[in-house]
């Protein structure tokens, strides 16, 4: 496994863990929620570089996508 792929897998694993912890989902539910998202598609697309941003950032994007039905970067 090359370094980018290892980072992708690490981000995915952490985000699924956040879903389990924060939303009380089962492992299969959390996997479905993450892998069915647009965010996951972008994490696995190495061209986007999203996998380099870290799990907390990716999880924030996922939460926004789940809340708004699409990826949203809310301005403060």
Residue by residue, pLDDT tens for the chain (76 residues) are 788 899 999 999 999 999 999 999 999 999 999 999 999 999 999 999 999 999 999 999 999 999 998 887 655 4
Residues written for the chain: 76
Can you tell me the distance from the alpha carbon of 9 to that of 17, in angstroms, rounded to the nearest whole number? 12
The label of the residue with tokens 């570089």 reads 49
Helix axes of 3-23 and 27-35: crossing angle, nearest 10 degrees: 120
What tokens were used for 60? 């924030």
The residue extents of the domains of the chain are: 3-68
How far is residue 24's CA from residue 21's CA, in Å, rounded to a whole number?
6
* C-alpha distances in Å from residue 50, one per residue of 29, 41, 42, 74: 23, 10, 7, 17
């Amino acid at each position: 496994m090359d370094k980018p792929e290892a980072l992708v897998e690490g981000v995915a694993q952490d985000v699924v863990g956040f879903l389990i912890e924060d939303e009380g989902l089962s492992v299969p539910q959390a996997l479905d929620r993450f892998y069915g998202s647009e965010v996951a598609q972008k994490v696995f697309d190495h061209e986007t570089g999203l996998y380099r941003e870290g799990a907390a950032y990716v999880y924030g994007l996922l939460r926004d996508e789940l809340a708004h039905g699409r990826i949203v970067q809310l301005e403060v």
